[in-house]
Structure 1
Amino acid sequence: MASVERKTEKLKAFYCGYGQKRQTSAEIVTEARHSLRTLRTQRPFTPREEQRQLFGGSARGRSECLQHLLHQKPRLPLSPGEACSGDGKGVPKPPAERTVTRGLGGARSRLARSRSLPVVASETQHTKTDDIKDVEPNLIPPPQQWNAESFNRQSMHEEKSPERSSQKLTHIPNKHRTARPSSADVCVSSDATRGRVDTTESDESIFWTSEVLPVLQMFESVPSGETVSKETVEHLCNACTVLHDILSEKGMLGKRFKKRTQVLRALFRLIDLRSDQLNLTLTKVILALRVSGNNLLNICKLVFKISRNSRNDFLFQDNSLLGSLVSLIRSEDLGSTGEAALYLTGALKLLSGNNSLARLLLAKDFISVSLQLLQRPIQTPDLETFPNNHSTSAERDRHAITGHVLVQVTAALRNLADLSESRPSFLSSGVFPTLCAVMDCYRDDQDVCLNIARIFSKLSSYTECCYALAETVSCYRLFLDLLCKHGVKQALVVRLMFTLGNLAAKSNNARLRVYEEEHSIYILLELFQRYLRVPGFQHEEEDEDVLRKLIRVLANLSIHPAVGTALAANPLCVQLLLKVMEVRSVEESAEVVLNASATISNLSYYQSENSVVRAQHTHVSELLLRILSSSNMEAVLEATRAFGNLSQMEEVQGFMITNKAHRFIVALLDSKNPDVCLSACGVLTNLSTDPENRRAINQEGAVPKLIDCLRDFGPRDWILAAQACQTLWNCTEDGQVECVDELLEILTLYSDQKALQWPYSEHLKAHQEACWELEFLPVAERLKKRMSRYAEVSEAD
């Protein structure tokens, strides 16, 4: 199956050893098709979780310790009867009765139910902006009983600007106002108030009375704890948007507004209406007012609760809240409570399972923001980040919470990796080195490692991402260490193997790097032994998938000459591959057997003196013959390729003729698959170098079948046409030729470049012409001369 010797006109069999130097790119292509090749396989499948949860079915979800950790704060949903102070201790409930003055048109007294929303000090206790900025809402007494009909015909009672206020509140449009700019897409940070209008206390008082207070009065007129109509919810949502916009115009979002506590108090009490649509609108405004501590925790819990129901996904799609949630990940407030980060990232993880929302997250730069969050624990390697035996309980808990957050973030990135449009972001954001660093820091955390392994397995299926990961030098040692550490974790092992297989399929440098890592081959073969079960053992599908991916790694690594030579000389490696072919049948384990056969085929290419494959050629040939007689054409093709290399050995040629293997090979020439025909031609080229073998091949009708291959595939595949001509040259060495005229006609036509049709693509045309000129034409011209001579002799007779 070697190339044509172009510098000699001596008539001889077309066979030369593999030690010859390749001269052209076309010859290299030929060589690759004949012998070494990479293997593909399906990416491991991860089914969608039926129920949206923080940790799904992982060990975390079943951990009693974690359940206690997650439920020691208020349960979801945010209940008016539950609250915590900033230090995490329970807040004393207020008196059962309380007199409160509401509105500007007159005082109204009512009984208040005890409530437990986050606590703040009384407004009268704070007069300075700096004092007010850290204050959170107090317990809010419920308003008087109210119904939807009275809401629709309500009128606002104000001491100032009654007409303006009434018009604004009773005629709020169904759609958000567009006259004012909105900053709903981002949480207000310390510099978000740039350009705000400076106001005196008098101006602020007028603004409060004329713009804000009417909206709050309308909020308070709604009875809490009752089901309200859809129209009322829409009206309240529009009012929230109006409130957000007018505060934004005056630069009073964040913690600057002196009466921020009253606004938050009014907003928080509406949560008790238990409308998911309204709660998300409230969340947008509350986050813009920069709540912190337990209030932030409760809001994140609320968002998480809403996100657990997939029927609420459309609320996030139509709401600008996603931008606020993504921006919140950057804020320092989130870092002050790990649980808030856990619920927030958990919500984003659940939402990212919806492809439409995943695209919105991608547009909000979620990958870059997540990268910043992932970098926090690996940039501060202290006791709190990496607890040990001397760490305190609090330090270990913080490390655990960080791990829980990383699970959510990496799971969300895993979902975004499914989007083809996400790949540029993964490539440009330095995600691969960061993910490897996180994987390294949390190598004991199987959930974190599994999520990142899923990301790699998805992205490495694409060429650009695969090359980028291949250039991440730290990944090779890391993957091997994780395979060694978590060898019994099938889900993790199979994805790491799949990723390594992709790297080895694309990059010759990656093949060498894997091989050069200390104990790399030992680790791979150790796992090979672990997952290779004995006959009679019921194979679990997960174990079988590991075996498929693992053998594929060996096959792809063996493309590199140094690695392939070493693996061919490794007794354990060859023994395990042959064991697969012994104990597995093509019918029960098609891909496993096929991959093992392909690996043996690749290893048989190397002719080193230490090659175990060639030393055990008889046993190898027996196993290949069994596969050759199966009905699986892919397995047959792999066995034929292996015989193409081994049939250079006289002992193997004798084995094939004795066991009638040549009959199977000749029959393969009828295949409509050009790769099958090419491999069959290669085997027959080697066998036909011996006169006895040549007679046996010709008796099976090889020459007419070879002519059919040449006619059918020639113009589309000049490499196959060249190989068919080489085989025909050997088979016609003795002068007894069938169909001389037909063969001569085909050769004459195919030797005329002007008579041939070429592809329209310049690139394909250049490649085809190179193969035709360098591979096919020299062999065809020599064969044509011989056929012309045979034709002359035949006419003379």
Structure 2
Amino acid sequence: MDPKKSKDRPFYELPENVQASSRIIQDARTSLRTVVTKRPFTPRDEKRTLFPASTARNPESRPASAFSLNSRHFDGSDSRPVSGAKLSPLDHFPEGSDVRARAEIKCFQTPRAPTAAEIENAILAPKPPADPNRPLSRKGSRQKLYNATSVDGGGESTTSLRPRSGSSDGRLHQDQGSPDADVPRRVSSGPKERTLLPEERGMADGKEAAPRVSSSMGVSSPPRTGGSHDGEQRVGSGSSRKSSSAGKSRSGSAGKRDSIDVGDDNFFTDKVAPLIEAMSALGKNRDNEKLGELAEELYTVLDTNKKLTKSYKQRSSILKAIFKLLDVEEPRVMLKLARLILAFKVGGNNLLNVCKLVFKVSRNEKNDQEFLEGNVLDLLIETIQSSDHVASCEALIYCVGAVKFLTGNPTILKRLAKKECIETLAGLMHNIEKTNRDNGRVSDQFGHILVQLCAALRNLADVGSGRERFLQTGVIESLSHLLDAYPNDCDLVLYISRIFSKVTLHTDCCTVLANEHSCYKSFIHLLNRHVNKEDVVVRVCFVLGNITAKNDDARRRLFQETNAMPTLLSVLKTFHNLESQKRSKPENVTTNGRHNNNDGDGAVNTIDDVLIKVIRVIANLSINDSVGPIIASHVECVQLLLAILDSKDIGSSEELILNTVATINNLSYYTTKTSAITAHQNTVAQVLLKLVMTDNMEAMLEASRVFGNLTRQRTVRDLLSRQKVDEIMITLLDSGNRELVFIACGVLINFMADEDKRPLLKKEGGIKKLTEVLRDFGREDWQLGSVVCKVLCNYSTKITSTNSCFGEAEAQDLVDVLVEYLDRETALEASLKDEVDEDLKDYLCETWEADFCPVASQLLKRIEIHQSCFEPLEAPG
């Protein structure tokens, strides 16, 4: 290399064989940076509704948020205890039919009263034949012949029914071997309709019937079991059973069951029936306060004695009595009655209606306090856990919907979290996801549940332990899969994006989501599909900005996703055009384009918010060293960014402008031949000039960072010099803002490369200001001290005399500071004496030795060489 050429090379220029085209910018802290923004504002729902007011769901296919509900909607037949066997009706064929008759006969273990549904069927049934012993028949039905089972004290013995040999009319007769072969018997759906056997007649005539407890609500004492009833038949007829199984049953399990039944009878008669009778009377008198107290007492009695089970024999009677009280309008009483129904774990239509009942109460915030009493919250969670999401889909919609409403109350929210509500909802979500996967398609009905579920999780994400629970239960991964499965469900997409916008504020959640490779495709697909929905787009872009803020692998994956960059630019262009249209109609901005942000510090334009989030994603992507140059070469991207800067004012769109400038700074970092920033560098500089002239310190800082990159080109330096930007940078040395001073020094380094621009530094007092910066900030920030020395080194490249170059007083002050700071003991002792952090101590030592000393030594040596006209310095004493 030519020594003369090397000597004339400006300080900021590195040898050609050294690859560090942006080293000055890096040293001046203008390296690539992620962009920070606020989480999108989530408005609080004014009304508690099943679906958002903006839902696109078809009203005819979605469950209703408002409905009428009373006692008539509850079905008594569904409250039958599980121990009772439902008797299937026998069909009848006319005598002489050529069709072979078959009947499936099931015997009751416990006789029961006919239900309302059965009475209705009996009314609609065809007229029975004259022969009372002939079974009923319906047109077009067929009969089947099976064994009829008769329970005997816990054991089983069978007597077969079949057509008489040689008979062609299909009449049914009992087997000749049966003890009751000669006694015709009519089987029907209720004990009152059954023809009594001789033993039963004898029992009815010769024995006193068991006592019954009656009330105005028709509640009776429990009927006798099949075992005890059968035993009484045999005693009355004088017959006995020789089988060992029957004997064992009578002496063992049957006797035990009989003793339990007697205890249940006494408990019901003494404890339960009086309460139900009193509740019935109060229900008629509309005494809601007392009715609520009795409902609470009934629950306590049943729960204490462990009778709130599906196997309790009087469950059916109690539920029927409660159903008749549900016309009450008092929410407190309704909730206490619903509590009893839920505790009995009803199913089918009754489960649906009790969930609707709870949903109805939870819709009013004034009723929230009622859910804090008792264990209603536990029962709701248990219902979600135990209900089949396929068979009880609609019931779960309302049950989870009620939980969604309740999570809006901070007190209830914390309590639900402690009761593992997140784990319960996560389990339901996993089950739905598995069912969809097994079926090979998604269910729209499940979508209704998922909307309620995700809305509840959105609130639960704010709980202190919410994030950890989300990670432990795999909620984040499942939500990502749901986005892929339900991309057309706007409500579901909105709630999931709201959840992600909360949890991705934390690095651990960002990492989990970034590792879900399918999420990138899902997010890009959602942006394409819902580009006109601001609330969805702003959150999806915010989430993408979060996961690309610290994860370089996420940046690469997102950029490599098909149509990723075109989609982001399409969103940017769409909303920029929309803003331009609204700007032409200013009356629309106030009514349609603004809302209060979540910090309550002013108004934020919703379109601006979308633009901020999209630009942030582009800024974060450009940090990747392979992605950044490609984006910087994208002409449309650069033009859109410049158009936004040109059309916006720092006073009304501060965050948007700052983020846009930060993105341009990242792109200006790459000085490739195809860079659109380099191709339009003069235009970029012109647009940024207005920011340097403002009183906004942040705007000046961001614009100066870009100038630090752009001023590497002589044409840009000439343009900015004509606009007195170099003079502004000298003025900024007095700002007192260390970061702004740092950036100003970085720009001045480049300006001092031009000989014609150097005199301005001395003229504007820049030498003295730089020396003061070195004295004030040097010991605390050796990097800043380094860039100060670089400015002075570039300035003094053509030095012949220290006095003429710096000024006599200025040169002496500068030498004093440099001598002091280049002495290790003097410089570092002052820097480290008040510092306790060992890592920071190591950092200060490294930056002093690596950054400051080489440049400061070169500057001091240059000053001393050209200091011949100075008086010799006295040696220190």
Do both share a fold (TM > 0.5)?
A: yes
Q: Who is 1:437 aligned against?
A: 481
1:414 to 2:458 alignment = yes
- After TM superposition, the structure 1 = structure 2 runs for residues 183-582 of structure 1, keeping only pairs within 5 Å, are 200-210=257-267, 213-222=270-279, 223-228=282-287, 230=289, 233-234=292-293, 236-247=295-306, 252-333=307-388, 335-381=390-436, 386=441, 399-533=443-577, 534=580, 536-538=583-585, 540=593, 541-582=605-646
Kept in 2: contact 1:211–1:246 (CA 8 A): no
> Separation in 2 of the partners of 1:109 and 1:431?
51
Structure 1 residues 640-673: Cα deviation after superposition (integer angstroms, max 9, x where no partner): 1111011111111111112211122222222232
1:35 to 2:110 alignment = no
> Separation in 2 of the partners of 1:314 and 1:28?
63
From the superposition, tell whether residues 726 and 228 of structure 1 become closer, same or farther in structure 2 (CA, over 3 Å): farther
Kept in 2: contact 1:467–1:506 (CA 8 A): no
Q: Who is 2:704 aligned against?
A: 640
Partner AA of 1:599 in structure 2: T
Residue aligned with 1:59, SS: coil
1:674 to 2:738 alignment = yes
State the Cα distance separating 1:269 from its structure 2 match: 4.3
Partner AA of 1:511 in structure 2: R
Residue aligned with 2:682, SS: helix
Which stretch shows the higher mean deviation, 258-267 or 632-641?
258-267
Kept in 1: contact 2:632–2:670 (CA 8 A): yes
- After TM superposition, the structure 1 = structure 2 runs for residues 590-669 of structure 1, keeping only pairs within 5 Å, are 590-669=654-733
State the Cα distance separating 1:547 from its structure 2 match: 0.9
Which of 805, 814, 821 is the matching residue for 1:743? 814
Kept in 2: contact 1:698–1:731 (CA 8 A): no
State the Cα distance separating 1:258 from its structure 2 match: 1.9
Kept in 1: contact 2:493–2:536 (CA 8 A): yes
From the superposition, tell whether residues 110 and 717 of structure 1 become closer, same or farther in structure 2 (CA, over 3 Å): same
> Separation in 2 of the partners of 1:509 and 1:29?
25
> Separation in 1 of the partners of 2:684 and 2:635?
13
Kept in 1: contact 2:216–2:277 (CA 8 A): no
State the Cα distance separating 1:362 from its structure 2 match: 1.9
> Separation in 1 of the partners of 2:7 and 2:465?
57
> Separation in 1 of the partners of 2:277 and 2:76?
24
From the superposition, tell whether residues 326 and 775 of structure 1 become closer, same or farther in structure 2 (CA, over 3 Å): farther
Which stretch shows the higher mean deviation, 359-368 or 340-349?
359-368
Structure 1 residues 149-199: Cα deviation after superposition (integer angstroms, max 9, x where no partner): xxxxxxxxxxxxxxxxxxxxxxxxxxxxxxxxxxxxxxxxxxxxxxxxx96
Kept in 2: contact 1:38–1:505 (CA 8 A): yes
Q: Who is 1:101 aligned against?
A: none
Residue aligned with 1:481, SS: helix
Partner AA of 1:75 in structure 2: F
State the Cα distance separating 1:765 from its structure 2 match: 2.8
1:775 to 2:851 alignment = yes
> Separation in 2 of the partners of 1:351 and 1:302?
14
Partner AA of 2:837 in structure 1: S
Structure 1 residues 11-66: Cα deviation after superposition (integer angstroms, max 9, x where no partner): 9624438994579xxx89955821311111111101111111111312257x4314
Partner AA of 2:806 in structure 1: V
Which stretch shows the higher mean deviation, 514-523 or 425-434?
425-434
Kept in 2: contact 1:335–1:341 (CA 8 A): no
Residue aligned with 1:64, SS: coil
State the Cα distance separating 1:301 from its structure 2 match: 1.1
1:82 to 2:73 alignment = yes
Structure 1 residues 762-787: Cα deviation after superposition (integer angstroms, max 9, x where no partner): 23333333333322233333334445
Partner AA of 1:754 in structure 2: E
Kept in 2: contact 1:374–1:406 (CA 8 A): yes
State the Cα distance separating 1:107 from its structure 2 match: 6.8
Partner AA of 2:275 in structure 1: M
Structure 1 residues 71-106: Cα deviation after superposition (integer angstroms, max 9, x where no partner): 8xx935x4124345889x996999xxxxxxxxx999
Kept in 1: contact 2:753–2:794 (CA 8 A): yes
Q: State the identity %.
A: 35
> Separation in 2 of the partners of 1:476 and 1:50?
33
Q: Who is 2:233 aligned against?
A: none
TM-score relative to the length of structure 1: 0.78
Kept in 2: contact 1:244–1:285 (CA 8 A): no
State the Cα distance separating 1:426 from its structure 2 match: 1.5
> Separation in 2 of the partners of 1:375 and 1:32?
51
> Separation in 1 of the partners of 2:385 and 2:16?
60
Residue aligned with 2:38, SS: coil
Which stretch shows the higher mean deviation, 314-323 or 208-217?
208-217
Partner AA of 1:477 in structure 2: K
Q: Who is 1:719 aligned against?
A: 783
Q: Who is 1:51 aligned against?
A: 47
Partner AA of 1:13 in structure 2: F
Kept in 2: contact 1:86–1:294 (CA 8 A): no
- Please, which runs of 5 or more residues in structure 2 have no aligned partner? 1-5, 79-114, 121-209, 229-254, 594-604
Kept in 2: contact 1:225–1:272 (CA 8 A): no
> Separation in 2 of the partners of 1:92 and 1:18?
98
Which stretch shows the higher mean deviation, 219-228 or 375-384?
375-384
Residue aligned with 2:626, SS: helix
Structure 1 residues 738-797: Cα deviation after superposition (integer angstroms, max 9, x where no partner): 533433343344442223235212233333333333222333333344455667743259
Which of 9, 14, 17 is the matching residue for 1:16? 14
> Separation in 2 of the partners of 1:121 and 1:485?
62
From the superposition, tell whether residues 287 and 82 of structure 1 become closer, same or farther in structure 2 (CA, over 3 Å): closer
Residue aligned with 1:65, SS: coil
Larger Rg: 2
Partner AA of 2:838 in structure 1: E
Partner AA of 2:569 in structure 1: L
State the Cα distance separating 1:361 from its structure 2 match: 2.0
Partner AA of 1:206 in structure 2: G
State the Cα distance separating 1:311 from its structure 2 match: 2.4
Q: Who is 2:90 aligned against?
A: none
Structure 1 residues 420-449: Cα deviation after superposition (integer angstroms, max 9, x where no partner): 421111122222221111111110101101
> Separation in 2 of the partners of 1:201 and 1:330?
34
State the Cα distance separating 1:616 from its structure 2 match: 1.4
> Separation in 1 of the partners of 2:533 and 2:28?
35
Q: Who is 2:109 aligned against?
A: none
State the Cα distance separating 1:731 from its structure 2 match: 3.0
Structure 1 residues 722-746: Cα deviation after superposition (integer angstroms, max 9, x where no partner): 2222223323443322533433343
> Separation in 2 of the partners of 1:110 and 1:327?
33
Structure 1 residues 662-685: Cα deviation after superposition (integer angstroms, max 9, x where no partner): 122222222232221111111011
Partner AA of 2:39 in structure 1: R
From the superposition, tell whether residues 731 and 449 of structure 1 become closer, same or farther in structure 2 (CA, over 3 Å): same
> Separation in 2 of the partners of 1:359 and 1:632?
43
Structure 1 residues 535-572: Cα deviation after superposition (integer angstroms, max 9, x where no partner): 74356332221111111111111111111100111111
> Separation in 2 of the partners of 1:564 and 1:348?
46
- Please, which runs of 5 or more residues in structure 1 have no aligned partner? 1-7, 95-103, 113-119, 130-197, 388-398
The number of residues matched between the two structures is: 684
Please report the RMSD computed on the Cα atoms of aligned residues, expressed in angstroms: 3.6
